[in-house]
Every structure is written in C-alpha cells, then in structure tokens.
C-alpha cells in the first residue's frame, strides 16, 4: 500500500491501572497518527492489552477472579482512559482474542517445523514481576538485577528459540539501517550490548503446572507460551495472517513505527526482529524508544508506588492541557520530571497567556469594532510586522514537518514555531495599539490588522490539531468562516 503509516504502542499489562507513563505513549502515537492522517497518509494506529503471564494470573487470584474476567475489567478501564484522552486508535488488540492466539500458535508451529525451537532443561533463577530468567552470576544478593525484587529458584524442561544464531545478522541489520532504532543513543546502546555480549537462546515456554494462564504450545500441551513471545506477535496478528505455505500476508506490514518506552527496548530491538527473521518476515522500519516520566528522579511505576492517575490530571487541568504538557515539556526520547507545578506553568504561560489571550483579544475586538463580523478582508498591510507574520504562516508547515515528519519525532520542537507565530501576533497587537486606530477612525486599517490576527488564529488551530484536537476544534468554532462566537477564554489561569 502506498503512503501508509502503520504505528503501534506497546500492549499494556492489565495487572495494574494505567498511569501517566502509559498515557504518554498513547498520546504520542495519537499525535503522530493525526498528523499523518492530515498529511493524507493511510494511517493504521494499533494499541491494546497484554493479558497472559504470571503477573496477571497472580493479580487475578488476589481478587478471587478468573484471569479473563479480571482482564475484561482492566480493558474497560484502559479503553475508558483512551476515550477521555481522545486517542484515535484504529484497532485495539487483546492477547486473549482468538485472532491473536491462532497467530501465536501458527508462529510456534512454523518455527518448530523449521527447527528454530528446541527442548532443554533449564536451571536457574526467575524474576516473576519481570518474567525473566537470570543466571547465578547475574542476580544480586538474591534479588533481580533489574527490579531488585527477590528471585525464585527453578528447574524445568522448556522450549528455547535459537536467538543466538541470528546475532550477527541483527548487528548487520542495525548497522545498515540507520532508521531502525531511534533515537541514536538507543541504537548505540543496542549495538554495544550486541557487540559485548553473546546472546543466549530465548526460553519461550512455561510449564503448565507453574503457570496455566497462557497460550498452549501446539506441539506440547503441557507448556504455555512465554508472555513476551506471545505479546510481540500482536504487531503482526492484528494486521495479517499466514497462508497455506506459511507465508505472512498483510497490507500494513512492515510497521512504520513501533513506539515504546526505553524499558522494553531489548525485547523490541533484539527478540522481535530475530523472531521475524526466523519467520522470513521483514523487520519493522523504525523502533522508537522514548524516555521515562519520573517523580523525584525515580521512574513512575506501579512497583515503586509513585504513580499518578491521568484521570486526576485531566479533571484538574483538562485533556488538552495534559496532552500539551506531556508533548511540550520534554524532548521525545529524554526522561522528564513530572509535577503539577510544571503543568500549571505551561497552562498559565503558553496556553492562557499566549494562545488563549490572542484568541480572546482578537474576538473581543471583532465584537467591539465590527459587531462580530469580519469577512472577505483583503490584506494590503505593508508594515514589517504584518509581513513577518505572513512569512511565518507560510513557512510553518515545513518547520513542523522537520520535527514531526523525520525520524526524531520531536514534538516539543515541532510546537516551538507555532508559539513563535502566536507571540509574533501578540506583539503585533501590543505595538499596533488597535484602540488608537479605532479612536482615529482608521477603520480600514483596523480591519486589515484584525484580519491578520484571524489568519494567525486559523493557522494555529490547524497546526495544533494533532496535539490538542479539542482546542483546535473549539478555536475553529469561535473563529468560524462566517461568524464569530466569543465564548469563554480557552484556558483559565490557575493562581
Ligand atoms: N506488556 C509489556 C509490553 C508488551 S509490547 C508487545 C509492557 N507493558 S507495560 O504495561 O509495563 O507498559 C510499558 C510501557 O508503558 C512502556 O514501554 C512505556 O511505553 C509506558 N510506560 C510505563 N511507564 C512509563 C514511564 N514511567 N514513563 C514513560 N512511559 C512509561 O511492558
């Protein structure tokens, strides 16, 4: 398919309620999806939930529920949040759906037939919260080196996937595809890891007696599939299927962009491309790993108990202020500190003072001087500021594209030229002193001056649409083509 843009988020675990970190990836994916749709691309935006594995089985048990019933409840919480945040996903996949389970079993069958999987007795340590095996030398004083929680000793027969066999291929692929892993610091991190360590094969099964909540292996009914191996397959199970000759068919694949947090880079940039390679399927074009939202320099996560509920933030500040803050405050890819003070600063500054004021002042003038109507005005102003504004309007789309259309997806930088335009217009109002034009009866000049502002506002409404869709619509309502309706200021100031 020409001009397609297939974008995905991670599938979120259903064992805990979504927090700001989860909402961040979906908001970023939504912003890009809206941006690309506006450019005329055929966008497919996939998100969903990761529902198998020990973590979820235990969380369900703790509530005395069947895992599927437990997951159903969680899914409605996630979907409710995405609706509140105005997330325009095209498809929501759950790993418990049959379209997914069938694809996972098919993948296992193909790899088994091809000799990419083998049986082996495993002895070692296991971290349940991370669903990860560790060797004796990796654990730290009986704890997981990643999450620092206690590990459990296990010995069991499992199936392994020949990850190590493809190590050189992966190194080559990363080196010859500059766009494969973003940002460049993460690409370097993966390359360094691959060049300094020998990959071990990946254990892709769990014995049923230890864990029953998973997709059964088609060739060994006493095992279920390892949750990561299961979940990654969603990116292809959602958009295609295998034919009789085990060839994968899809109009969307390869994915154009897997958006993930840097916590799950290894699974996406090492396991996943190798799984695809073994299946003879093209790797995704780009994997972008963004940074973490932190609270007092510690990652926001359920296990650290420092999570902030996005709904609370939306109730306090509104959806678009929340979206704007997350996309504006931190360059995509970097970590950021979350605080309500920082949101308030953005709300009062960029939103109330700059954007809100421009719209409100302009509408007030149209009401006061032209009875709410200002149409078909030809602008002939020759002053420097009007010209500068005109040039900025004409250059805006390409300036935004430099940051949104390239692989660094720098939302924060993309927003900057929009605010430069807004502030040029605000400065123009202050310097022109329109009340004097009115006093001196320079009606023609006043009208043209206001028409410039209206042009800025309409351009701004279009440009902010991917970031703040509700606000964009609200401004378009206020500054409609034929009539003006001055409502309340767009953003209240918070004292
Ligand atoms: N289920 C796996 C992913 C499987 S993908 C095939 C998983 N789920 S998760 O619920 O833990 O979500 C992880 C993702 O949530 C991160 O990769 C990131 O996108 C987002 N975030 C979770 N905490 C975050 C922060 N503190 N900051 C920013 N994003 C974070 O891992």
Q: What is the pLDDT of residue 80?
A: 98
Mean pLDDT (whole number) for 284-297? 95
Question: Taking every pair of C-alpha atoms in the chain, what is the biggest distance, in angstroms?
Answer: 91
Mean pLDDT (whole number) for 170-181? 97
Ligand 1 pocket test target in 24, 96, 265, 327 with most atoms within 8 Å of CB: 24
Q: Residue 397: pLDDT above 80?
A: yes
Would you say the CB of residue 263 lies under 6 angstroms from ligand 1?
A: yes
CA-nearest residue for atom 13, ligand 1, is 12
The number of beta carbons lying within 10 Å of the beta carbon of residue 119 is 12
| Domains of the chain, earliest start first | 4-290 (3.40.50.620), 340-478 (1.10.730.10)
Ligand 1: distance of its center to the CA of 84 in Å? Answer: 19
Q: In 3-state terms, what secondary structure has residue 358?
A: helix
Q: What is the pLDDT of residue 210?
A: 87
% of the chain residues with pLDDT over 70: 100
CA-nearest residue for atom 16, ligand 1, is 261
Confidence bin at 377 (pLDDT 50/70/90): confident
Q: CA-to-CA distance for 54 and 1, rounded, in angstroms? A: 39
Confidence bin at 92 (pLDDT 50/70/90): very high
Q: What is the pLDDT of residue 483?
A: 72
Contact 319, 86 (CB under 8 A): yes
* Residue 263: C-alpha distances to residues 147, 269, 303, 333 (Å): 11, 11, 14, 12
- Match 């999450």 to its residue by tokens: 147
- Per-residue pLDDT tens digits for 237-276: 999 999 999 999 999 999 999 999 999 999 999 999 999 9
Mean pLDDT (whole number) for 119-137? 86
């Amino acid at each position: 398919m020409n001009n397609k843009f297939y974008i995905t988020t991670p599938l979120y675990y259903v064992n805990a309620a979504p927090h700001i970190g989860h909402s961040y990836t979906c908001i970023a994916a939504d912003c890009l999806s809206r941006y690309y749709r506006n450019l005329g691309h055929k966008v497919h935006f996939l998100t969903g939930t990761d529902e198998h594995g020990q973590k979820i089985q235990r969380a369900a048990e703790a509530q005395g529920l069947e895992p599927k019933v437990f997951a159903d409840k969680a899914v409605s919480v996630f979907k409710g949040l995405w609706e509140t945040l105005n997330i325009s996903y095209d498809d929501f996949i759950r790993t418990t759906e049959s379209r997914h389970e069938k694809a996972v079993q098919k993948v296992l069958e193909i790899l088994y037939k091809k000799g990419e999987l083998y049986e082996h007795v495993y002895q070692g340590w296991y971290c349940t919260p991370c669903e990860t095996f560790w060797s004796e030398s990796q654990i730290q004083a009986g704890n997981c080196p990643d999450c620092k929680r206690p590990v459990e000793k296990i010995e069991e027969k499992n199936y392994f996937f020949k990850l190590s066999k493809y190590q050189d291929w992966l190194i080559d692929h990363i080196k010859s595809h500059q766009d494969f892993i973003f940002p460049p610091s993460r690409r370097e991190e993966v390359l360094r890891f691959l060049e300094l360590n020998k990959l071990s094969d990946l254990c892709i099964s769990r014995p049923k007696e230890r864990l029953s909540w998973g997709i059964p292996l088609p060739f060994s009914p006493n095992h279920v599939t390892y949750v990561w191996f299961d979940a990654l397959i969603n990116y292809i199970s959602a958009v295609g299927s295998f034919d009789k000759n085990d060839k994968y068919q899809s109009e969307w694949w390869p994915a154009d962009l897997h958006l993930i947090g840097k916590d799950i880079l290894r699974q996406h940039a090492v396991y996943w491309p190798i799984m695809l390679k073994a299946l003879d399927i093209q790797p995704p074009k780009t994997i972008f790993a963004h940074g973490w939202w932190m609270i007092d320099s510690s990652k926001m996560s359920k296990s650290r108990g420092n999570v902030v509920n996005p709904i609370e933030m939306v109730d306090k500040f509104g959806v678009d202020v929340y979206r704007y803050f997350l996309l504006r405050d931190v360059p995509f890819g970097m970590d950021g500190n979350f605080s309500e003070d920082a949101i308030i600063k953005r709300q009062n500054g960029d939103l109330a003072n700059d954007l809100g004021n421009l719209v409100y002042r302009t509408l007030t003038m149209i009401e006061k001087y032209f009875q709410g109507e200002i149409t078909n005005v030809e602008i002939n102003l020759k002053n420097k500021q009007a010209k500068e504004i005109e040039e900025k309007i004409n250059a805006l789309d390409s300036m935004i594209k430099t940051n949104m259309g390239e692989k660094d997806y720098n939302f924060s930088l993309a927003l900057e030229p929009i605010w430069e335009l807004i502030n040029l217009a605000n400065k123009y109002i202050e310097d022109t002193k329109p009340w004097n034009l009115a006093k001196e009866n320079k009606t023609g000049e006043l009208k043209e001056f206001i028409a410039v502002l209206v042009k800025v506002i309409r351009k701004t409404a279009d440009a902010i649409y991917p970031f703040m869709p509700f606000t964009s619509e609200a401004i378009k309502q206020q500054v409609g083509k034929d009539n003006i309706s001055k409502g309340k200021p767009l953003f209240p100031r918070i004292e």
